[in-house]
């Protein structure tokens, strides 16, 4: 039995004393101890070494105190497993030297045996579960097929992913074959993560908001729905789409246990658009963690009052920024833990 099961209760829609709290990207770059490991080991070495991934995953639990751990990994281990080269370049971020932009390229993309290609992730989950000793739940994650396609076609990060959109709109047949391959791989990957011991999974559609509402349904949501359908009876699924407020109604009817909300969508609109029944997660502006700890506490209280303490998970609206002071991250978490309804 997990000792602190607040997150699981919130995902089931149960009444809680206070909302659970965790932060996207909490296992990482804002922590001084993480930066020490970064100086010794490159990015994918940290991802591929179960001992390092475990240490990084547990670090914020010990130092900041959230109600859940999220496995240290990266969404781009999926294309790596699919025969697509991915590097992490200093100062650039993800770099794919051979982007996929033709049907011929799509045909060279594999749907792998995830146990052969990604066993290091499952080993890290088992090791992390042992280290956590049932203190808090462990979250596993994957990128949405659309978000993975964005990097796979663009070849790097982008402000508008114009090449990815051009590929989808000019060669939709190839785009849908690629999206389906990513979807099939992601389902197998997440099922294996559940078998290894994760308690919750989150799908990150970081670039869904780049698409119009119609194109979102065509090139992103239908593939997200396949993944949710495949996983929802085994594990709670959190669906997070950055900039995807326009799809909250469809998302709320998907079978997902909760929906992530970014900071551009108010609590009131999120509750309205999602029908007022499903658990919501978010929506604190990550940049607001630059505010003073006292201001952070006030804003957190206001955020929880607006969402309501039940059917709600306190979180940021996107990943924590790298230069946030640890004391500010702790102030965010503590403010949620100290929250009591008026």
Residues placed in the known binding site for substrate: 25-29, 44, 74, 151, 206, 318
- Which residue reads 């659309």 in tokens? 146
Helix 50-63 vs helix 32-40: angle between axes, to the nearest 10 degrees? 160
Whether a cis peptide bond, with omega within 30° of 0, leads into 3 is no
Eight-class DSSP state of 312: E
Q: By the 8 A CB rule, do 228 and 254 touch?
A: yes
Give the Cα separation of 198 and 95 in Å (integer). Answer: 29
Give the Cα separation of 279 and 260 in Å (integer). Answer: 9
- Which residue ranges make up the annotated binding site? 25-29, 44, 74, 151, 206, 318
Give the Cα separation of 48 and 226 in Å (integer). Answer: 27
Tokens at 246, concatenated: 């326009």
C-alpha distances out from residue 299 to 12, 74, 288, Å: 26, 30, 9
Q: By the 8 A CB rule, do 245 and 270 touch?
A: yes
What's phi and psi for 250, nearest 5 deg?
Answer: -60, -40
């Amino acid at each position: 039995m997990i000792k602190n099961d607040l997150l699981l209760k919130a995902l089931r829609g149960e009444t809680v004393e206070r909302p659970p709290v965790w932060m996207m990207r909490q296992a990482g770059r804002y922590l001084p101890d993480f930066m020490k490991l970064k100086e010794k080991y490159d990015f994918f070495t940290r991802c591929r070494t179960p001992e390092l991934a475990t240490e990084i995953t547990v670090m914020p639990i010990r130092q900041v105190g959230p109600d859940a751990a999220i496995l240290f990994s990266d969404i781009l281990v999926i294309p790596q497993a699919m025969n697509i080269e991915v590097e992490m370049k200093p100062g650039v971020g993800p770099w794919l030297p051979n982007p996929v932009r033709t049907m011929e390229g799509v045909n060279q993309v594999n749907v792998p045996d995830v146990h052969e290609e990604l066993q290091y992730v499952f080993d890290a989950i088992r090791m992390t579960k042992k280290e956590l000793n049932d203190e808090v739940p462990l979250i596993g994650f994957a990128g949405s097929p659309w978000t993975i396609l964005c990097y796979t076609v663009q070849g790097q990060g982008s402000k508008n992913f114009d090449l990815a959109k051009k590929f989808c709109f000019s060669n939709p047949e190839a785009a849908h074959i690629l999206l389906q391959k990513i979807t099939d791989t992601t389902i197998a990957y997440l099922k294996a993560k559940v078998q290894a011991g994760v308690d919750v999974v989150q799908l990150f559609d970081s670039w869904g908001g780049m698409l119009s509402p119609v194109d979102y349904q065509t090139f992103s949501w239908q593939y997200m729905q396949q993944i949710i359908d495949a996983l929802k009876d085994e594990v709670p699924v959190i669906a997070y789409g950055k900039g995807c407020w326009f799809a909250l109604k469809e998302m709320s009817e998907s079978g997902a246990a909760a929906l992530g909300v970014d900071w551009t969508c108010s609590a009131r609109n999120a509750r309205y658009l999602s029908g007022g029944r499903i658990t919501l997660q978010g929506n604190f502006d990550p940049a607001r963690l630059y505010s003073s700890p006292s201001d952070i506490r006030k804003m957190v209280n206001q955020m929880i009052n607006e969402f309501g303490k039940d059917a709600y998970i306190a979180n940021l609206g996107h990943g924590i920024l790298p230069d946030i002071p640890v004391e500010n991250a702790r102030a965010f978490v503590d403010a949620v833990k100290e929250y009591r309804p008026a």
